[in-house]
Amino acid sequence: MRRIFTCLLLLTLGFAGADDKILSGPQVGERLTSFKVRVVSDDPQDQDFDFILSANGRPTLLIFMHNISRPAASLARALSTYAHERAKDGLKAYVVWLAADRNEAEQYLKRAQGSLGLRVPVGISVDGAEGPGAYGLNRKVAMTVLTAKNNKVTSNFALVQPALTDGPAITEEIVKLIGGKAPTLEELQVMSYPKKN
């Protein structure tokens, strides 16, 4: 009897943990609302910018970065390289940096531009480390990746420990929006260290 009770308890605990999905950002079917970023560039005239307004409902890839690590940078670089290549197919892609100190983040990003190698516009959220209030981004998640069309979320990836192995699932969601064939993990590995032009 004790063995049966123990098995039932373990099964119950297992099922309870199965539903504990980490959430970050708008979920599938929810609308993307406008928010402001400070675009990182060498032009001092750059003002606060709205990526959602700029995308204008077109297929969109949004990468929110809370924390940077080598694996996260590798994934962001591969996704931005792929998005850059697919821009001709109508894909709009942006990286949103989340940081408590905007000036410090801007200086870091300018210094690290070469090593980060991001090939899409990068902006620092004017809303600080929490990001846009309406987005409900989870600070325990290192990277939140959204795909959207017509300003509606079509996929959401809340990545606590992002790695290049997350890339194929994300690019599969992108090709659902713009067609084509998703790159393999091996192709993404090449994209994560693109040759300099």
Give tens-digit pLDDT for 52-111.
Answer: 999 999 999 999 999 899 999 999 999 999 999 999 999 999 999 999 999 999 999 988
Question: Where do the structural domains in the chain lie, given as residue ranges?
Answer: 22-191
Yes or no: say if 79 and 61 are a contact pair by the CB < 8 Å rule.
yes
Yes or no: say if 91 and 81 are a contact pair by the CB < 8 Å rule.
no
pLDDT at 113: 83
Other beta carbons within 10 angstroms of residue 121's beta carbon come to 18
Please state the φ and ψ torsions of residue 25, each to the nearest 5 degrees. Answer: 85, 175
Contacts of 41 (CB under 8 A, 6+ apart): none
**Fold of the CATH domain 22-191:** Glutaredoxin (3.40.30)
- Cα–Cα distance measured from residue 170 to residue 61, given in angstroms and rounded to the nearest whole number: 9
- Percentage of residues in the chain having pLDDT higher than 70: 85
pLDDT at 14: 45
The more confident residue out of 20 and 147 is: 147
Yes or no: say if 125 and 97 are a contact pair by the CB < 8 Å rule.
yes
Query: What are the tens digits of pLDDT across the range 21-42?
Result: 899 999 999 999 999 999 986 5
pLDDT at 130: 94
**Nearest CA-CA partner of 144 in 70, 55, 72:** 72
Confidence of residue 114 (pLDDT cuts 50, 70, 90): confident
Enter the pTM of the model: 0.86
State the pairing for strand pair 60-65/92-97: parallel
